[in-house]
Amino acid sequence: MRKPIIAGNWKMFKTRDEALEFVYAVNNNLPSIDKVDSVICAPFTVLRDLVKRQGENLRIGAQNMHFNENGAFTGEISPVMLESLGVSYVIIGHSERRDMFNETDEACSKKLKAAFKHNLTPILCVGEHLQEREDGSWQDLIRGQIIRDLNLLSSDEVEKLVIAYEPIWAIGTGKTATPEIADDTCGFIRTCIKDLYGESVAEKIRIQYGGSVKTSNIEALMAQPNIDGALIGGASLKAEDFITLVKASLK
């Protein structure tokens, strides 16, 4: 049985005061980490504050990082720096980074390798634009992302990886993929992993759905056999909603 993982992606939201208010509100209200992984992926500026105050059932993640350990890369943050803060997760290859900041599969593959080296669990985002959903090329696109992004990882690393299937047409648009489309695509991703790394890795890897997940649709999504969790943007910003979303994943 795969443990569910519910991760909030705060994107470029929340000042320090707002982040602290959130963490104090959720800390004693999350289910046991033995049952579900509850994660908040926050801006770099509040990571240390959140790690210091995270309750026993919450873990903190970053939303991006460089693949090098240090160097002349103005404005970047390294895996060593995240590890030294006590961060547990890092989102890699979010579509906003791929589309707006020219993040390539080659960079994603190096980032995944570097994350494992520094004890960070990566959440790799894959997914298609509306055009690719409509013209049927989404399978080739997603298989290609998986092959290229995972190519530096060992099977042991792949089974610990979290993949988030995020159809770009469903992010921040209010349009959720139907539970059937979401499950079908997460199942397709699991089959790709099976073809590349074998049955046992495919059974262990956790695959999330992301894109307009909210308190009203999470139960239907989580009821699907191939969906092991959710990566949630807008709806993860309110403490009360985040608690509801995590609890719903256990139903």
Residue 232, interface with ligand PGA (CB under 6 A)? Answer: yes
Q: Is 249 in the site for ligand PGA (CB under 6 A)?
A: no
Residue 221's contacts (CB-CB under 8 Å, 6 or more residues apart) are 176, 179, 182, 209, 213, 227, 230
Q: Does 101 bind ligand PGA (CB under 6 A)?
A: no
Burial of 1 (C-beta count, 10 Å sphere; 0-12/13-18/19+): exposed
Chosen residue from 9, 54, 64, 109 binding ligand PGA by CB under 6 A = 9
166 is catalytic: yes
CB of 154 to ligand PGA, least distance (A): 27
User: Site for ligand PGA (CB under 6 A): which residue of 92, 146, 207, 231?
Assistant: 231
Q: Phi and psi of 214, rounded to 5°?
A: -145, 175
242 within 8 A of 26, measured Cβ to Cβ: yes
According to the binding rule CB under 6 A, does residue 93 interact with ligand PGA? Answer: no
Structure tokens at 198: 């074998």
Of 66, 83, 94, 96, the active-site residue reads 94
Binder among 211, 226, 227, 246 for ligand PGA (CB under 6 A): 211
Binding ligand PGA (rule: CB under 6 A), the pick from 212, 217, 226, 249 is 212
Residue nearest to ligand PGA (CB): 233
Question: Does 66 participate in catalysis according to the annotation?
Answer: no
Three-class secondary structure of residue 29 per DSSP: helix
Q: How open is the CA angle 78-84-87, to the nearest 5 degrees? A: 85
User: Residue 17, Cα to own-chain centre: how many angstroms?
Assistant: 24
Contact flag: residue 122 with ligand PGA (CB under 6 A): no
Closest CA to 236 of 13, 54, 50: 13
Total binding residues for ligand PGA by CB under 6 A?
13
Q: Establish if 64 lies at the interface with ligand PGA (CB under 6 A).
A: no
- Nearest Cα neighbor of 167 from 153, 158, 178 is 178
Q: Which positions are catalytic?
A: 94, 166
Note the residues at the interface with ligand PGA (CB under 6 A): 9, 166, 171-172, 210-213, 231-235
